[in-house]
Amino acid sequence: MALSIVILAAGQGTRMNSEQPKVLQPLAGRALLAHVIETARALDADTINVVYGYGGDTVRNAFADEDLTWTLQAEQLGTGHAVAQSLPAVPADHQVLVLCGDAPLLAVETLAILCDVVTPDSFGLLTAKLADPSGYGRIVRDADGNVTGIVEESDATDEQCAIDEINTGVMLMPAGWLARVLAELEPDNAQGEYYLTDVIASAVAEQLPIVTVEAPDANEVLGINDRAQLAAAERIVQGRYAQRLLDQGATLADPSRIEQRGDITIGKDVFIDVGAVLIGRVVLGDRVRIGPYSVIENSTLGDDCIVHPHCVMSGVTAGPSCEIGPFARLRPGATFIERVKIGNFVEIKASEIEAGSKVNHLSYVGDTHVGTGVNIGAGTITCNYDGANKHRTTIGDNVFVGSGVMLVAPIAVGDGATIGAGATLSKDVAADALTVARTRPTTIPGWRRPEKKPRD
Ligand code: UD1
Ligand code: CA
């Protein structure tokens, strides 16, 4: 049976108290809706339709690169109305799986079970039993346990509110049937909305068999309506991601104190200390050690690299056995071939540093090529910017740069050069020689410092 998925993402999310459409709120670094789309993709549906509305094209534009069918729900009149808008794009002989854009934690396996057990001429409903069901629609059953309806909390009696079985928002229905019953929906409820949940009454009336599947894990059905639920969902996702790293053989100093906001690949025996924030595409080789409190974004660290505490890096490529930090700031294009050492309070940008070279303290290296076996002394700066243009610095192999050297780019330093501390250089530096540029000290004997006048 052909399957079409409809994802509801038109609501404002009033309870978020945000200017952004709710489905664009980030969870583990990606929009809520991105998680739902990813889950939908794994189900192998014929089409994925997203209903958008609040915030206009912002939601649609956020997924411009994806192959999706979009339906505008110009006025958000309720979940039933939202599904109805999308149905003209769905062939009548398809099954429609409705997912909510604000329920990002659902497991593909759970949805696959629902799709498996629900036949094309029946109504499938994913439910869950929650210790605290507040906020959700409650599943009402008769004495024999047959579903008779779903009642929204705002319309429920005290007795119904006590029901712990809830509507997850996931339903699987025959498209032609759904289109017909949605057309008959009335907004006669506390919120004055067209409720998708009301179609269940039609299923009961028409004796369409109702098949319920209970989600195995109550956490996966969490619908995100406010910031507290968003924070709770973040902890659940982070817990899952941390577990995945543990399963892959990483040691985590504390699995509850690592944040993954992207796609993390690790080798064998990686160690990650507390407070690591990994963003985007991060690749860590075998035996990489990440010290406490570092932010690592879109970077690749080769085997045996060590990151000492409190480093911030983005767009870095490091080969094996590099040592970074503490307190290093590495910006896009920082590339270390192997055994490179970057020490404290060093900033590197768009620079390639070859094997065994060291920049250990308080330096800025930008738009630079550094050869092998180079030692760059404390407080050295490649002065790459003249206020209008960026210029390159080239440092050969086995160069020794003394402390406090200003290399005014464009400039090249020849292989084997030694530069004495404190030089400001704006011309190329000779290979295999000592270059010193330092004013001789002037001493004025008997000179006295100015003194403050005594107060009256
Ligand atoms: C809905 C269900 C409730 C269920 C809960 C699960 C209804 C009437 N209620 O309640 O039974 O327990 O989800 O999380 O269906 N949306 C639109 N257009 C609209 C209204 C909503 O696209 O006009 C979208 C929202 O963006 C959201 C989803 O539908 O992604 C659910 O809407 P929401 O207002 O959050 O419904 P709930 O009150 O949570
Ligand atoms: Ca919701």
DSSP string covering 252-282: ES-TTSEEEEEEEEE-TT-EE-TTEEEEEEE
pLDDT at 455 over 90: no
290 and 308 Cβ atoms separated by less than 8 Å: no
Which two structure tokens, joined as six digits, stand for 154?
A: 């705002």
Residue type, 116: D
Counted residue by residue, the chain has a size of 456
Q: How far is the CA of 102 from the centre of ligand 1 (A)?
A: 8
Mean pLDDT (whole number) for 2-18? 96
pLDDT at 111: 98
Which residues, at least 6 apart from 151, have a Cβ–Cβ distance to it below 8 Å? 137, 138, 140, 160, 197
Q: What is the CA radius of gyration of the chain?
A: 31
Burial class (CB in 10 A: 0-12, 13-18, 19+), 322: buried
Average pLDDT, the chain: 97
Which two structure tokens, joined as six digits, stand for 269?
A: 């025996």
**Parallel, antiparallel, or unpaired for β 147-151 and 295-297?**
unpaired
CA 195, CA 120: separation in Å to the nearest integer?
23
Catalytic site positions? 361
What superfamily would CATH give domain 3-221? Spore Coat Polysaccharide Biosynthesis Protein SpsA; Chain A (3.90.550.10)
267 and 288 Cβ atoms separated by less than 8 Å: yes
- The string of pLDDT tens digits covering residues 147-179 is 999 999 999 999 999 999 999 999 999 999 999
Place of tokens 């010193």: 436
What kind and span of H or E run contains 128?
strand 123-129
pLDDT at 200: 97
Q: How far is the CA of 224 from the centre of ligand 2 (A)?
A: 6
227-435: CATH, from 3.30.420.40, 2.160.10.10, 2.60.120.340, 2.40.30.10: 2.160.10.10
- The string of pLDDT tens digits covering residues 385-405 is 999 999 999 999 999 999 999
Mean pLDDT (whole number) for 112-133? 97
CA 11, CA 23: separation in Å to the nearest integer?
8
pLDDT at 456 over 90: no
Q: What pTM was estimated for this model as a whole?
A: 0.93
Is 225's C-beta closer than 6 angstroms to any atom of ligand 1? yes
Residue type, 26: P
Is 351's C-beta closer than 6 angstroms to any atom of ligand 1? no
pLDDT at 1 over 90: no
CA 68, CA 38: separation in Å to the nearest integer?
12
Is 189's C-beta closer than 6 angstroms to any atom of ligand 1? no
Q: Which of 100, 194, 197, 214 to mutate to test the pocket of ligand 1 (most atoms within 8 A of CB)?
A: 100
For residue 103, which phi and psi values (nearest 5 degrees)? -120, 80
The two domains 3-221 and 227-435 share their CATH topology (first three levels equal): no
59-65-70 Cα angle (round to 5)? 50
The domains of the chain are located at 3-221, 227-435
- The string of pLDDT tens digits covering residues 222-278 is 999 999 999 999 999 999 999 999 999 999 999 999 999 999 999 999 999 999 999
Strand partners, 435: 419
Q: How far is the CA of 15 from the centre of ligand 2 (A)?
A: 10
Is 150's C-beta closer than 6 angstroms to any atom of ligand 1? yes
CB 276: neighbour CB atoms within 10 A? Answer: 23
